[in-house]
Structure 1
């Protein structure tokens, strides 16, 4: 026994050592479960060939062919020997040999593991299913390296499998519609970081986004003519399946149903004429669960919709029902009294209990947001938790399968580090092994109130790659600095897939600047981030579905690199007073101080930028204060109280938002100022 424990200990230490070496050399995301580096090397040349053995299907050949094209594009090497990988490519002496035991099924808990061996002259990917092979190919592309001798794959042995089976992204296409090409490039990004569930939020108060042949008024009256045809849904599902990604539909009921009630007002609790909601938020219109005609309608609609999505799961929403319309209608109040219901949530549980056999009849498993978790809810319903960790762990302790979204709301503009450290099973939470098994995984959520097809990529990527790692990699992979190091590189790799999270900025900046000279705006935007949480949609001007999303807050992206690095430099400088750090800080402060003059020139022909004028002035004044503070620190001199008071006032003023954005270097510069008084 002692010898066995020693071997386990040695194995763990060697694994950690390999991971350390990996971090120094490679930029993998997600980090694999086990990595060992060896001295091998496989050069990439025009003679590179791929073979597939075992029992593959057409998906494997297509993905192997896509790998060849991507490798050629990444390296610029003409891989002319192999246009496509086909069933004829079985030569076991090929550069890359993929062996799979069987095609994978697109279902929860399918085997997604793979092994990847790179030794001198050969690469081998071995898997149970082709899903694992697809993941292995993504890892292999991330391993492409270069030196003076050319492009190559470094020697490495990888054993990899996901920590959680459900690694999802919710894409809201109801509040702002996302065309098929946006969905496709989103799926490409998801596959690159080994995510496997696309959750499509397909209807809300603002629109119903899928063609119904049984109830055509839904697209005629409840979509503004902007919806997916059933053929387009089929295209999306097939495109996702090709990349090993499941598509889970959400049709939210009984609240957030203004669009449905616009087309079919007879199912509303309050009888009136409804119109599509143009604002965003939580509204009172709700279906009438006491109307027996509602259930045949939902059965026909959900049966039709579920037939478009082969996945086992069907999401019914169930969130944000205010209950006000129910409480205001006499016949509903009477129904509740007769059935002993004390609250409107009791009525919603009744509604969910009526829905469950309808969903089961379609062959699906029902999911709902955590509001559906009420006494009497059947255990076979899966809970998606968004309101807090307490609700999430309460559900698994009660025996419900659950998906964590709390802490993964990427539309709230929080940094990647926040999402990255949000572990579904933290050490602080005590669960039994059985309870842990109820945790299916997690799901990032991209709600689209404040995004359009132009800007949505910048809100999803690259931060979602950090969430993907949290859901795939071992729990011990949690170094934030190393995550950011790799994330910056992965961001460029994602752009090569056609994602627009980097390139969109220049398009919007040229529009705002009325020309090609965008440099002053670039400098300002590099230190700005949009207002976080829900603050952007507060104030005198509320956003609607028709609002322009081409302004300063749309150009500024979450978790900006420039302020993040600057803030780290200031923290380090205040500890060691390094002359190198001092110069780097000084150079940035000079740039920001001087930028205001050039920015003012832009304003002469760019009225739309006027909302950024105060931000530019504040940044310049703040930078000037920082330069003064830096000089005091350099000269080892202190300043008087009046100087400190003036500079703190500048910093306080700079914390004010403008254009619904905030300057992200205020606190760091204020720390420089405050340091002067304690020298």
Structure 2
């Protein structure tokens, strides 16, 4: 044990040192716990062999994925052999022997030198993460078959490293879901939250209730911008069969990603109520809305049929998803109908509840009790705190950090997902440079990167209840795979580093340098990513008396080359290079953009400064 403790101390020591010069060759996202570049490199060629321990099918599956990755990157088709080799030239070894205990259940060690590459981990899971780092080193190498000689010891900070995609409001294909899972795996993320039901659509086949998808998966219109004119009258819909669900779950398992399904309740349930209006308080009828708003019609908490229906649904859902957690929503449930509903009021009286908030708590606790019979725990949005938290519930804190703090103080596990830092449907820059969004709240990549998931307000003893972080993609106004990619990439890289890397090792400048390698990979992969971090931001101190302004220009990219004009023309590579804040006489228009070499890489941003009488 003493050896293990000493090893961990060395890892932490060198990880801090790696921020210095030796980190300049580190191109890996998320940043490893310890990275050291050493002289030399390993050259993969057609005679290179991948060795794995015999009889370990899960590691063989990882080895086969590595074979495919190497072929995709280099065009070389290598051989995989099940054989234990203690050393050997021109080899890549995937091993569980000689694991450092301090790296835990998801950590790995990657050592490359002139003769070989060795990835070591406690399990196939760990080796898979080591493989992702190896793949990044190859992708980011000038010669793709040449791997720099390095020593890496690595493990994650948090156990929940998640991404949510809302397919309830807009349906996305199985093929696209798999692509997103692949891209999560690139960054060692391990939880895909699948938002499957909404007011605007029911996306999962339930065999006992085929009407849910026959009718509830389709709507007649879709709102694409706010206001009455922003309505697309073309029908939209779709759903996943149970066989497709199984296919996606199996695929995610091969990438060591757990899928958390979300079945919304008591609110956000109008798609189901349009099919079964007797489960509501009013009896309907209802139409699946194409517009985005919080609907007042929710499941009736006083109706026993509601719970029988949900138990039937969850029985089929739990059989499809092997993970230990089911997301039950719990957010944005207006109490208007419950207040006027005789059945709900009778339930409040019979159960000795104080009000409708406690009625929602009763609802969630009853669902939790049922799911425990299926060996599943629940997680819900932070509204499930209202009226009293269910005994074993996890909380996903989205309305800021207050809910997460409250839940952790009650010794409940928490996933931090505050909208200001984790909502990837928020625009990445100024509105006039970005696609339409439902909010003016901005989430630049640098802001996301700076987020610290463990609130300062928490006592150290409660830190252990913060299980991780999650980014969310709500799709009210995101209506194509390309639009999803634009909102997710490259911000997913910052999300991954927040969830994996120890905060003492985070470094914006180093991250932005490593991000440049990833963007080149996105170009090769055909990912429709945002370049918003290249756009110029203006900050100005205006003196209206003297009619002058002091202007500062900034871009959230690595060592940005900003050029600007003051004569109304668009900036070019020959325009003035921004070096420091400058003074201008009003009125004037400033235009600025970032460049690299002889090419503009950011959008042109414009500010007009006027004299206001």
Fold match by TM threshold 0.5: yes
Matches within 5 A, 1:430-579: 430-433=458-461, 435-451=462-478, 452-494=480-522, 496=524, 498=525, 500-502=527-529, 557=530, 559-563=532-536
Q: Residue in 2 aligned with 1:100?
A: 96
Q: Closer, same or farther in 2 for the Cα pair 1:321/1:6, shift >3 Å?
A: closer
Any gaps of 5 or more consecutive residues in structure 1?
103-108, 503-556, 576-580, 595-622, 652-661, 675-679
* 2:23–2:37 Cα contact (<8 Å) kept: no
Separation of aligned partners in 1, 2:315 and 2:105:
29
Q: Deviations over 1:315-352 (max 9, x none)?
A: 11000011111123244234434544343211101111
> Are residues 589 and 562 of structure 1, via their aligned partners in 2, closer, same or farther at CA, if it must alter by over 3 Å?
farther
Relative distance call for 1:567 and 1:49 in structure 2 (3 A) is farther
Deviation, 1:256, is: 0.4
Match of 2:18 in 1: 18
Deviations 1:422-468 (A, max 9, x none): 11125x334223x1111110111011111122311111111011111
Mapped partners of 1:44, 1:233: distance in 2: 38
Distance 2:204 2:472 in 1: 20
The verdict on how the C-alpha distance between 1:253 and 1:464 changes in structure 2, with shifts beyond 3 A counting, is same
SS at 1:158 equivalent = strand
Separation of aligned partners in 2, 1:248 and 1:473: 23
Alignment pair present for 1:368 and 2:380: yes
C-alpha displacement of 1:70 = 2.1
Residue 615 of structure 1 aligns with which residue?
A: none
Structure 1's 246 and 11: CA in aligned 2 closer, same or farther, altered over 3 A? Answer: closer
Shift, 1:558, TM fit: 6.9
For the residue of structure 1 that corresponds to 2:323, the secondary structure is: coil
State the 1:100 CA deviation: 2.4
TM-score, normalization by structure 2: 0.80
Secondary structure at the aligned position of 2:15 is classed as helix
Task: Report the equivalent of 1:412.
Answer: 426
SS of equivalent to 1:483: helix
Shift, 1:418, TM fit: 1.1
* d(CA) in 2 for partners of 1:589, 1:71: 50
CA displacement at 1:223 relative to structure 2: 0.3
- Structure 2 distance, partners of 1:137, 1:492, is 20
Q: Which residue of 1 aligns with 2:118?
A: 124
Counterpart in 2 of 1:524? none
The question of whether the paired residues in 1 share the 8 Å contact of 2:16 and 2:505 is answered with: no
Deviation of 1:131 after TM superposition, in Å, equals: 0.6
Q: Equivalent residue for 2:389?
A: 377
Q: What residue is the counterpart of 1:593 in the other structure?
A: 569
- 3-state SS of 1:585 partner: strand
Q: Which residue of structure 1 lines up, in the alignment, with residue 37 of structure 2?
A: 37
Name the CA shift for 1:486/1:424 in 2 (closer, same or farther; >3 Å). same
Query: Cα–Cα, structure 1 residues 390 and 215, in superposed 2: closer, same or farther, change >3 Å?
Result: same
Aligned to 1:616: none
Determine the structure 2 residue equivalent to 1:647.
Answer: 588
Does 2:366 correspond to 1:393?
A: no
**1: distance between equivalents of 2:578 and 2:532?**
31
* DSSP-derived class of the 1:96 partner: strand
SS in 2 for 1:455: helix
Q: How does 1:90-239 map to 2 (within 5 A)?
A: 93=88, 95-100=91-96, 111-144=105-138, 151-224=145-218, 226-239=238-251
Query: CA offsets, 1:489-515, max 9 Å, x none?
Result: 22333454x56324xxxxxxxxxxxxx
Count of residues in Structure 1 that have an aligned counterpart in Structure 2 = 542
Cα distance between partner residues in 2 of 1:638 and 1:135: 52
Counterpart for residue 613 of structure 1: none
C-alpha contact (below 8 Å) 2:381/2:395 kept by paired residues: yes
Cα displacement (A) at 1:122:
1.0
Alpha-carbon distance in structure 2 between the residues aligned to 1:110 and 1:36: 20
Looking at structure 1, the residues matched to 160 and 150 of structure 2 have their Cα atoms a distance apart, in angstroms, of 27
Q: TM-score, normalised by structure 1?
A: 0.73
Query: What CA distance in whole angstroms lies between the structure 1 residues aligned with 2:376 and 2:140?
Result: 48
What do residues 104-157 of structure 1 show as CA deviations (whole Å, max 9, x unaligned)? xxxxx9811111111221111111011110000110111127888884111111
Deviation digits for residues 182-227 of structure 1, max 9, x if unmatched? 1011001000000000010000001100111111010111002610
Cα distance between partner residues in 1 of 2:11 and 2:84: 37
- Residues 470 and 154 from structure 1, CA distance in 2 versus in 1: closer, same or farther, beyond 3 angstroms? same
Distance in 1, Cα, partners of 2:39 & 2:578: 52
State the Cα deviation string for residues 407-431 of structure 1 (Å, max 9, x = none).
21111121111111111125x3342
Alignment check: 8 A CA contact 1:43 1:150 kept: no
Q: Which residue of 2 aligns with 1:525?
A: none
- Counterpart-to-counterpart distance in 1, 2:76 and 2:318: 42
Separation in 2, partners of 1:589, 1:454: 35
- Residue 48 of structure 1 contacts residue 79 of structure 1 at CA under 8 Å; is this kept in 2? no
CA distance, structure 2, for counterparts of residue 8 and residue 49 of structure 1? 31
Contact 1:258 1:285 in 2 (8 A): yes
Residue 281 of structure 1 aligns to a residue whose secondary structure is coil
What runs of 5+ residues in structure 2 fail to find an aligned partner? 219-236, 428-442, 541-548, 554-558, 592-601
* Conserved 8 A contact 2:166-2:475: yes
Distance 2:606 2:562 in 1: 17
Cross-structure match for 1:60: 59
Aligned counterpart for 1:422 among listed residues 451, 470, 473? 451
For 2:153 and 2:78, locate their aligned partners in 1 and report how far apart those are by CA, in whole Å: 30
Partner Cα separation in structure 1 for residue 140 and residue 499 of structure 2: 30
Runs of 4+ in 1 over 6 A off after TM superposition: 5-11, 88-91, 145-150, 571-575, 630-634
C-alpha distance in 1, partners of 2:191/2:275? 30
Could you say if the C-alpha distance between residues 311 and 265 of structure 1 is closer, same or farther in structure 2, counting changes exceeding 3 Å? same
Q: CA deviation at 1:585?
A: 1.2
- The answer (yes or no) to whether the contact 1:54–1:101 under 8 Å persists in 2 is no
Which of these residues, 357, 366, 382, is aligned with residue 345 of structure 1? 357
- Report the CA distance between 1:306 and its aligned residue: 1.2
Distance verdict in 2 for CA 1:89–1:61, change over 3 Å: farther
C-alpha displacement of 1:365: 0.7
Give the whole-Å Cα distance in 2 for the aligned partners of 1:372 and 1:179.
31
In structure 2, the residue matched to 1:322 is 334
Residue deviations 1:149-173, cap 9 Å, x none?
Answer: 8841111111111100000101111
Do the aligned partners of 2:11 and 2:153 also contact (CA within 8 Å) in 1? no
